Structure formats: C-alpha cells, structure tokens
Structure 1
Amino acid sequence: MKKKSFSILISTKNRKEDLQITLSKIHYLFLQDNVSCVVYDDGSTDGTFAFVKNNFPDVILYRNEISKGYLYCRNKMLNETTADYAISLDDDAHFLTENPLLLIENYFKSNPQCGLIAFRIYWGTTIPDNLISKDVRCRVQSFVGCAHVWNMQAWRAIPNYPEWFVFYGEEDFASYQLFKKNWEINYLPDVLVNHRVDMKLRKKNDDYHIRLRSSLRSGWFLFLLFYPAVVIPRKIAYSIWIQFTTKVLKGDWRVFKIIGIVLIDVLKNGFKILKNRNKLTATEYVAYQSLAPAKIYWVPEIQTT
C-alpha cells in the first residue's frame, strides 16, 4: 500500500450526529490518494461504530469496547500512523478552508523547524458572513486540541500525551516538550476551522464543573512538571486567587470544593510528576514566556459599508 502524506485522526464517543457532520464535510479530503482518515470510537453506545462502518467504508475504524479515554486514543492513532503529517480533528470540527492540505504541506516544507501547525479556529454553531482575517503567521507557545496538524518527525521526538491528565492540558504538555527539543509551533491563519460549539451554552452544561476541575488540575500539573521551582508557588497561588475572585466571591461556592479536590489530585499524582519533570531553565522559561500565546478563538471583524 502506498504511504500516505496525510492522515486525519478523529477520536469520538457517543457523538454520532456531530461525527456524521464532520465526516460529511471532510469526505472530499480523504478520498484523495495521499490521505487517510482514522476514527477511533472510544466505547460509544449510540451506534457510532456501525454508522461509520456502513456509511464511510473508506475510513479506518478502531474501537474500544470499554472507554480508555481520548488521550489513549490520540496516542494510539499518532503512534501507528505512517503518514508524514497527522491532522487531529475533534468530532465536532471541520475545515472551512477548501483544499487546506496543499497550504499545510507547503508551509511545513518551507519551515523545517515547524513541528506543529495551529489553525485559525472559529467557535460557533453558525458560520459568520466574513471569513477573511488580518491575522498573520507567527510562532506561538501552544495550540488548540480540536484542530491542528503534526509534523510526525516532531511527534516522534517527544513523549506521548500524558494519559493521567485525563482531560485538558495535553496540548501544553506537548508544547513544552517541543520547545525543549527546539521544535516550533506555528500559527497558520490561512487554514480556517469551524469548531461547532456554543460557548455560552457550554457554561450551562452539567459537566461545567468537571471541566473546571480538569482545567485547574492540568494547569497545576504543568507548573510542577515544567516551571522553575522558584516560580511554582506564585503561579499556583495566583490561580487560586483568580478562582476565588472570579467565581467563589460571585456565588459559585462549588469552586471552593473543586480547589480542594484538585489539591488532592496533585498529591495523588506526585510520583508521576516527579518522574516526568522536565523543567525549563531560567533562560528557557523567559524565552518561552516571550512567545505569543496560543491562538484559541478567532473573532471575525465586523464588516462596514
């Protein structure tokens, strides 16, 4: 079988309708000879596996009978692909830029130190009228998990995503590891992705506090794994202060409990933190902080007539 240049990797669980939209939108891409598409069904109970198998026979399909977590799925797909470039897409995200693969390939070839490309991402359930952006290409600290592409040489140079993080933070983990290995993360606004998420509605979802716990926990993990020791207490204290001032003091008392739970999470994972610590030197820390932050949300400019 001919080696593929690109592999599109999607992990999913119980989101058949979202996945159907995504596969329909990007189907024209993986019909190309140099592109494969892999879907990893992480223990869905909504018929996802049968749906993909019956309706998208050209998709390479994996399944966990019992969920092992999306980081397990991501690691497995990335470690098994033989493609030169691996595009990671959420099951509720698709390209708005037509034929993005040529843009991606040309950029990697022109920028050999680029280990990962971060896309321009619009978060919303409806597409804006104006898709033109004044954003410029640049090096950034990190990337968004829902849509990015790996130079597989860079992926093979760093440790796997930490499955013990469970949810959130794996992108920053990879970013620090790439930085330590002198690989760059570049923002390529030429490629636009629609992440079909209603951000206002997400905050009202039942899993909001679960997401908050995961986000806060992963942030502390990252401080302890990569930051110089002298910086860590101040960073953790500041993150606690932010939670108090923005949430607890405004009446969300459950956040106070979450902070306590996160402290326990850190203690439980103390050995893993010590084992995997890969601290930035003082010089590296300053250099990393000087980079532009991850480009997470792209907001269209208002058109005037």
Structure 2
Amino acid sequence: MSNYPKVAVVILNWNGKYFLEKFLPSVFNSTYPNIEFIIGDNGSTDDSVSYVEENFPMFKILRNTENLGFSGGYNEILKRVEAEYYVLLNSDVEVSEGWVEPVIAQMEKDPLLAACQPKVQSYHNKGEFEHAGAAGGYLDYFGFPFCRGRILDKVEQDHGQYNDAREVFWATGAALFIKAKAWQDAEGFDSDFFAHFEEIDLCWRLKKMGYKVGYCPNSLVYHVGGGTLKTSNPQKTYLNFRNNLLMMQKNLSVPAAIWKISLRLWLDFFALIKFLVDGKSADAWAVSRGHQYFFKNFFKTAKKRKKYSAQENKKGQYKNSIIWDYYMNNIHKFSQLKDKNFH
C-alpha cells in the first residue's frame, strides 16, 4: 500500500439520491489499492445521505450545513480530507474499470503535473465525447473555453483521434484529479463562482504558478452532464457569463484585461440581443445580471489578482478566436485547428 499514494475520491452531493443509486456501484468497484471514498454533502434535504449510510457504509460522509455550490462546497469538504491526491467526481459520472490507475501513474511521473482529467464520453451517447471536458480543455484569445472533441455546440464521435496523453489548459471539474499540495498552493476554487468556470479559473491559476494540467486518454468516464440540454436555463446562463468575466479579470494582465473584457462585454451584448430575438428573455436578463454583478464587485475581484514568482505556463492557450473560426472559417472539429496557433 505504501507504494501507492493515497487517493481520495470525493463526490459532492446535493439532493442527488437518483445519481448516487445509479453510479456509486461503479465508483466503489474501483481497483486502485490505496483509495478512500467520500461523499461531501452540501446541505441536502432529501434522503440521499441516509441512502448512502445504509447501502454504502464504506463511503465516509462529510457534511456542509448548507448548499455552498460546487466551488464553496468542495472548498469546505476538502479541508477535512487527508490524501496525496483528490479526485473531484460529479455524482452523475459512471467510471470504467481501472479508471484511477493510469491518471495517477501519469501524474506521478511529472512533479509539475498538478491536475489531470480522464477522457470524458457522454453517458447517454457512449462513443461520443461529452460537452464538459471531452479530451481536455483549451482557452481562446478572448477567454472562450473549448475542448478537444467539442467546439461550442459541436461534439465529435470518439474514433481514437485524441488518444495521446498531452498537456492541456484546463481539466474538467466533472472528474478532476489534483495533487493535494497543488490544491492547497492555489487555495482551491474561488467560492464566489458558486458553479461553472471554477475549474478553468483554478487551472489558469495553477498554470500561472508554473504547474501543468494534463489529459489521460487511458482513463475513461461517462458523464450525464447538461451540455446537451436544449431547454433554457437562465441560472446557468447567468453563472457562465458572469464567471467568465470574473475569471478574465483575475488572470489576465492589466493591459490585456482592459481591452479583452471591453470587447467581451460587447460580444455578450450581442448574445443578449440574440436571446431576445429567440424569445429567451430570461436568458437575456441573466446576461444583464451577470454584467451587473461584474461591475458591482469589480474591486472585490481585483483584490484577488496575485503576482506569481514562476513563469506562467501558457500551454493550451489558443492564439486566435474560436468563435471567429467556428462561424467564419467553418471549423467544427479540434483536429481542424493548426498547431502553430497554440501556445
């Protein structure tokens, strides 16, 4: 056992009995020798905790007294977890056999590899990449995230085209492996994000500290996720638009932040107009609320900016606009992007 670093798989739960019933068996069948299973409950009001206590007594339960969101919830739970590696695993994820070992092996080989993700396929369409993570995350010149295997709303089938382990810019929070020391060095998630973009912000801060973020194709998980939902979700719209701006303000240099955020505000305004034209007034209002929060909390966010002694690792940043490439150059697959346009 001493030859294997301790891994804590931590599933954050909020009223998620349905997913726990469905996916805890696959997690429990993990074969890694030195592993601890933890349910971090975020103030659930259903009977999900009692279900775990009765059916999976081997899972340790740590409780928050209220729903602190994805970011705040994990921040509080992980303060009480002792392990060399944390695995932040969504409750709506089914894991495959031997999913832990290859990621840990890859991370153990490189002291600078602080975070890593497995390959993420869709649970409902196995063989197709899943929207939130796919084969590793990237960030374009204007702060728009995309993935190997997913650009905007275009998701690719997995034909083995992204089966090479490589460094990426961000790793999905749906199945995030991270070294405990790196988590602590970066001070975890930004709790103000609540949900959405918190893992991208964390990975960006890690890279500003000189760390690496990776993708491991030899590990496979299946995510139910919400990327394929067609119905309007104004709260998700609000968090996505708001947190993207917060992330840019925190991590870009001051000159770059000034002009890039100014441009993003205009692009967001066009998105607001499109929501109105499409009859999605609640989403349009969500964009406006996101901007209001950004300006009201401008100085609070500015205080979170930090100077790092290490040279920033820009690997995985795209030098062009993925939005322009998608709509004007008809690029819908990651493989169509030129390597020379990446850091």
| TM-score interval, smaller chain | 0.7 to 0.9
1:173 to 201, 208, 211: 201
- TM-score under structure 1 normalisation? 0.83
2:291 corresponds to which residue?
263
- TM-score under structure 2 normalisation? 0.75
1:138 to 142, 166, 169: 166
Q: CA RMSD in A?
A: 3.1
Distance 1:153 1:213 in 2: 32
- Secondary structure of the structure 2 residue equivalent to 1:222: helix
1:182 to 210, 215, 220: 210
Matching of residue 21 in structure 1 with residue 46 in structure 2:
no
Distance 1:33 1:106 in 2: 13
Q: Note if contact 1:115-1:185 (Cα within 8 Å) is conserved in structure 2.
A: yes
Q: 1:29 to 1:213 in 2, by over 3 A?
A: same
59-68 or 187-196, which deviates more: 59-68
Q: Note if contact 1:248-1:255 (Cα within 8 Å) is conserved in structure 2.
A: no
241-250 or 137-146, which deviates more: 241-250
215-224 or 118-127, which deviates more: 118-127
The answer for unaligned runs of 5 or more in structure 1 is 294-298, 300-305
Equivalent runs, 1:209-248 vs 2, <5 Å = 209-246=234-271, 248=273
Distance 2:49 2:63 in 1: 7
78-87 or 237-246, which deviates more: 237-246
1:162 corresponds to which residue?
190
Amino acid at match of 1:111: D
Q: 1:116 to 1:291 in 2, by over 3 A?
A: farther
Structure 1 residue 220, shift from structure 2 partner: 0.7
Q: Note if contact 1:4-1:82 (Cα within 8 Å) is conserved in structure 2.
A: no
Distance 2:108 2:77 in 1: 23
The answer for unaligned runs of 5 or more in structure 2 is 129-156, 322-332, 334-343
1:55 corresponds to which residue?
55
Query: Share of identical aligned residues, percent?
Result: 20
Matching of residue 192 in structure 1 with residue 220 in structure 2:
yes
Q: 1:191 to 1:212 in 2, by over 3 A?
A: same
- Secondary structure of the structure 1 residue equivalent to 2:24: helix
Aligned length in residues: 289
Q: Note if contact 1:89-1:147 (Cα within 8 Å) is conserved in structure 2.
A: yes
Distance 2:167 2:69 in 1: 30
Q: Kindly indicate which of the two structures has a greater share of residues assigned to helix.
A: 1
Amino acid at match of 2:10: L
